[in-house]
Structure 1
Amino acid sequence: MYIYTTMVKQLVCGILLFLSLMGSSMAARAVPHDDVLEWVQKDSRRFLRANIRVSDLDRTIKFYTELFGLKVLSRKDFPEEKYSNAIVGFGPEESHFVIGLTCHHNTTDKLDIGTAFSHFGIATQDIYNTVEKVRASGGVITREPGPLVEGGDTVYAFMNDPDGYSFELLQRPPTPEPLSHICLNVIDLNRSIEFYNKSLGMNLLLKFDVPQEQYTVGMVGYGSNLTQTVVIELKYNYNVTAYKRGNGYAQVSYTHAYLYISFSQTHK
């Protein structure tokens, strides 16, 4: 019974965050009242898994394990249903945020990442070495390592995996969650932040504007230190009013004790 209940909780939580990506339309509507949010202060929550579709499972696993250092935690084939899946992460699912990979066999439905999902973030202690490994393997570097602003302390780089999923590498000291964040593009940053805070109980850990590149970011998550926990990066690109859903990114799953209260708040 405990296992069944836990699975149901994770499923519904995954549905909540799947819905939150749909053009952030739910974030623009579903903002609950303050008097029903006492559960936020009492709850214990963490991110579990992000699920994406890939076109070649073996190729993706090879890229993620050899270049990023992720480990294969499980792999299963379902020949009758014509798909395979795998879970990769920097540590066990019980304590780490992981990525679920699904590959459909013999399908005519072409993978389309869309534009609503932006990227994954990985913290590394040697960003320059990782970038060169990706480059040597034929990977696409879309931004060379460097600070966000001239003289800044945060060094980062961007690259694409074989399917075109974008990854941001961040130079950081050791962290319990090297798979540090996912980034979603939103059309109304303030209302999206309010949704994640009031409906899902996440804290706003950082908000900053980069006018020279025409975007604003809000980082939300559980806990108080964004370098030690997993966060969702909500990115507003100036003057963009719509994003394409695609069929690549599926959902983010998270767990907490007050599942049904949280679910009810998304429908207020």
Structure 2
Amino acid sequence: MAGSEAVPSEHVLEWAQKDKRRFLHAVYRVGDLDRTIKFYTECLGMQLLRKRDIPEEKYSNAFLGFGPEESHFVVELTYNYGVDSYDIGTGFGHFAIATQDVYKLVEGIRAKGGNITREPGPVKGGSTVIAFVKDPDGYVFELIQRGPTPEPLCQVMLRVGDLDKSIKFYEKALGMKLLRKIENPEYKYTIAMLGYADEYETTVLELTYNYGVTEYTKGNAYAQVAISTNDVYKSAEVVNLVTQELGGKITRQPGPIPGINTKITSFLDPDGWKTVLVDNEDFLKELEKKE
């Protein structure tokens, strides 16, 4: 960070607001790749976009979603050889899928033996129809009834210990916008939706604060979200400044990944949730090579 004193911090922070960003993927670990692929494609309606095996590192990946990675948010599943189960912990909440008919989707999931943990119906005190299902590893998916959307894989929900601090962190470090905040004193929680566009058009981060709960266990199952950036170096500078003010830390300095050459930087938020920022152009080049 030599010479950074010469640049006023507000100019550094401006970069996060100007940068072109979108959610790329959520990374998490599963105990049986083929079993999860089968559930996501047959029950949830996702497409298997690509699969790769890295025997020298003893793991395999599968990428699934509702459209190509160039334009859609996808899940990146990781299978580590010989590990068949993980601890999801208490902090990870759920992923969400928007569908035009929750009842029909649940019917199909049930017919294939899926685990429905909340039957379809309106949310308490509201009219939006939702349901909850669990995948074979125990990850929860909320199904939300909604009109046609370009991005059905629409939410990642994480629990946090200080909502206002987290909102400020994601606004300043990642240039997200606070789309809405919902207080629910009756059920003792508050949620905040953050993202880069309207939540009916794109993927959002849903942060949940449960009254009086400041810490959660992370487990070893959910890993991170990846977000695109036009400049990992400038983005890391922003994150570095924000972590000094609000907590969190950079876990990987910006630079290319050996062997792939895609430039990334990664960091933890004040609760220890990990985000990876990926160079936009490098990411698209990487996808071209996978064709």
After superposition, residues 77-96 of structure 1 pair within 5 angstroms as 77-96=53-72
- The residue matched to 1:266 in structure 2 has which SS? helix
- Once residues 75 and 43 of structure 2 are traced to their aligned partners in structure 1, the CA distance between those partners, rounded to angstroms, is 15
**What residue is the counterpart of 1:47 in the other structure?**
23
Checking the alignment, whether the CA contact within 8 Å between 2:229 and 2:235 is kept in structure 1 is: no
Q: 123, 138, 149: which one pairs with 2:124?
A: 149
**What residue is the counterpart of 1:28 in the other structure?**
none
Does 1:252 find its partner at 2:225?
yes
Deviations 1:211-251 (A, max 9, x none): 2322110000002x110011000011112121111111111
1:154: Cα distance to partner? 1.4
**What residue is the counterpart of 1:105 in the other structure?**
81
**What residue is the counterpart of 2:212 in the other structure?**
239
AA in 1 matched with 2:53: D
- The residue matched to 1:114 in structure 2 has which SS? coil
**What residue is the counterpart of 2:141 in the other structure?**
167
**Where do 5+ consecutive residues of structure 2 fail to align?**
1-7, 242-291
- What count of residue pairs does the alignment treat as equivalent? 234
- Once residues 181 and 20 of structure 2 are traced to their aligned partners in structure 1, the CA distance between those partners, rounded to angstroms, is 24
1:168: Cα distance to partner? 0.4
Does 1:118 find its partner at 2:113?
no
- Once residues 213 and 62 of structure 1 are traced to their aligned partners in structure 2, the CA distance between those partners, rounded to angstroms, is 36
- Once residues 78 and 99 of structure 1 are traced to their aligned partners in structure 2, the CA distance between those partners, rounded to angstroms, is 18
AA in 2 matched with 1:237: N
1:267: Cα distance to partner? 2.3
Change (3 A) 1:261 1:140: same
**What residue is the counterpart of 1:180 in the other structure?**
154
Identity %, equivalent residues: 58
Q: 133, 146, 151: which one pairs with 2:108?
A: 133
- The residue matched to 2:240 in structure 1 has which SS? coil
Does 1:227 find its partner at 2:203?
no
Change (3 A) 1:197 1:33: farther
Checking the alignment, whether the CA contact within 8 Å between 2:30 and 2:85 is kept in structure 1 is: no
Aligned Cα RMSD in Å?
1.7
| Higher mean C-alpha displacement, 54-63 vs 98-107 | 98-107
Checking the alignment, whether the CA contact within 8 Å between 1:115 and 1:245 is kept in structure 2 is: yes
AA in 2 matched with 1:48: L
**What residue is the counterpart of 1:193 in the other structure?**
167
Q: Which has the higher contact order (CA 8 A, sep 6+)?
A: 1
**Where do 5+ consecutive residues of structure 1 fail to align?**
1-31
Checking the alignment, whether the CA contact within 8 Å between 1:39 and 1:258 is kept in structure 2 is: no
Does 1:261 find its partner at 2:234?
yes
Checking the alignment, whether the CA contact within 8 Å between 2:16 and 2:238 is kept in structure 1 is: no
**What residue is the counterpart of 2:182 in the other structure?**
208
1:259: Cα distance to partner? 2.8
1:35: Cα distance to partner? 5.2
| Higher mean C-alpha displacement, 93-102 vs 40-49 | 40-49
1:34: Cα distance to partner? 4.5
Change (3 A) 1:33 1:210: farther
